[in-house]
Amino acid sequence: MKIFKGIVVTGLKEGAYYVEIYKEKIKNILGIVPFPGTLNLKCDKDVCAEIFDGLKNLKFKEIDGFDGLKSVKFIKCVIRRDEKIISNAWIVIPEIRKHNFVEFISDVNLREGLNLKDGDEVEIYV
């Protein structure tokens, strides 16, 4: 089981927009009705690249591009903070990345479910 840590940050406020656009496909492919937004973990550019390189050979699910949008891959994961665990989360791996975040979706509000605020550290298990 691959483990990495990240620091919670506020993203670009685009997550909710894209989750809504991909919502039906997420429901069909991942079997969840996604919370309208993403949890963002900040990482240095090199660390982000290392995380995504390490994940690229793992089993993933994919939504093919549609209506001019790019494809997106998802890898199932568990997010943990202290004793709180959310096991129905997915790492979002977009075809094009515009930032140094690792993004996550779930069928619950991850910030509320894990009682997170910016600056908190979480562990990710893949």
Nearest to 87 by CA among 41, 125, 47: 125
Query: Which pLDDT score is estimated for 85?
Result: 93
8 A C-beta contact, residue 105 and residue 62: no
Residue type, 91: I
Judged against a pLDDT cut of 70, whether residue 98 lies above it is answered with no
Average the pLDDT over 96-100 and give the result: 70
Q: What is the spatial distance between Cα 65 and Cα 45, in angstroms, rounded to a whole number?
A: 25
Say which CATH architecture domain 3-125 belongs to.
Beta Barrel (2.40)
pLDDT in tens, 38-71: 999 987 666 667 777 777 777 789 888 888 888 8
Residue 30 host element (H or E): helix 15-30
What percent of the chain clears pLDDT 90, i.e. is strictly above it? Answer: 56
- Chain segment 14-46, per-residue pLDDT in tens: 888 889 999 999 999 999 999 999 999 987 666
Answer positive or negative: Cα dihedral of 22, 95, 71, 85: negative
Indicate if the pLDDT at residue 120 is higher than 70. Answer: yes
Phi, psi of 47 (to 5 degrees): -65, -45
Beta partners for 89?
A: 77, 106
More reliable by pLDDT, 94 or 112: 112
